[in-house]
Structure 1
Amino acid sequence: EKPYRCSQCPKSFKSKPELTQHFQSHSGEKPYQCSQCPKSFTYSSGLVQHWRTHTGERPYDCSQCGRCFRNNSTLIRHQQTH
C-alpha cells in the first residue's frame, strides 16, 4: 500500500519522506550539490552517480566481457548487445 499521493502527478509512496523527496522533482529544488563542479541534483542517488564522473569509479562490470560502467542501467543496456 502507498498511502502518500503526490498532488502534482499520479505517483504515490509508502512514506512521507519519500513523497517529500519526490515533490522536489516538481518544485525544481536540487539540494544535493557536487563539491567539485556547479552541478546539483534532486536526489542523492543522482549525485552519487555524477560523482563517479569525477572519481572514475565504474563499479558495475559485465560478466561476459569484463567492461565496466558507472551505473547499473548502462550495464543492463550493454548486456543486451551480447
Structure 2
Amino acid sequence: MLSQEQLDRINALANKSKVEPLSEAEAAEQKELRAAYLAAFRGSFKNQLMGMKIVDEEGTDVTPEKLKQAQEEERNKQ
C-alpha cells in the first residue's frame, strides 16, 4: 500500500485542483500517484479474491471455476 505521505499528497493535490489549476508538474505527479494507488488497490483486491472460497447454505463449495483455476495457478507459481 502507499505510504501515508503519498496519500496525503494525493489529497492535497486533489484539494488544490478544486481551488486553482495544477501546474504541469503537479498534474503529472498527481497522475503518477493515482496510478500507484490504483495498482496497490488492485493488488490488494486480487489477494483477497485468491483467498476466497464460496460456500452455499448446505456447505457445498460453489466457487466459480474461473476463480478456482486462478487460485490453482497462484499456488503453482509459489
Instruction: Tell me if both proteins adopt one fold, taking TM over 0.5 as the criterion.
Output: no
Normalized per residue, which structure has more helix?
A: 2
Larger CA Rg, structure 1 vs 2: 2
TM-score bracket for the superposition, by shorter chain length: under 0.3
TM-score, length-normalised on structure 2?
0.26
Q: Greater RCO between the two (CA within 8 Å, min separation 6)?
A: 2
Normalized per residue, which structure has more strand?
A: 1
